[in-house]
Amino acid sequence: MDEKILLVLLRLHRRVSPKKRPELRIYLDSDLDKLVKTIATIREESISAVVAEALELWLQQSQQQEIIEKHNLDELD
């Protein structure tokens, strides 16, 4: 994983206590919801873990990296 992404994730993680993690509510099409839940169950992972993994991969994309660099988001406290 890219070092800048790790820094952003670590800084965000430090801002939140382990007991109180931020909640993110998302809405999915029914088919996508079923597929994600089924795969998470097969992998014996939580939906949160699956979504976090997907977001980490999304953050690695060049378009998001450009935004992170342009707005100095790797320096978030």
pTM for this model (two decimals): 0.68
pLDDT value of residue 39: 96
Q: Is 40 exposed, middle or buried (0-12, 13-18, 19+ CB in 10 A)?
A: middle
Question: What is the model's pLDDT at position 1?
Answer: 59
Choose among 42, 40, 38: nearest CA to 51. Answer: 40
Mean pLDDT within 32-41: 96
Residue 55, amino acid: L
- Is a pLDDT exceeding 90 seen at residue 54? yes
Report the 10 Å Cβ neighbour count for 68: 19
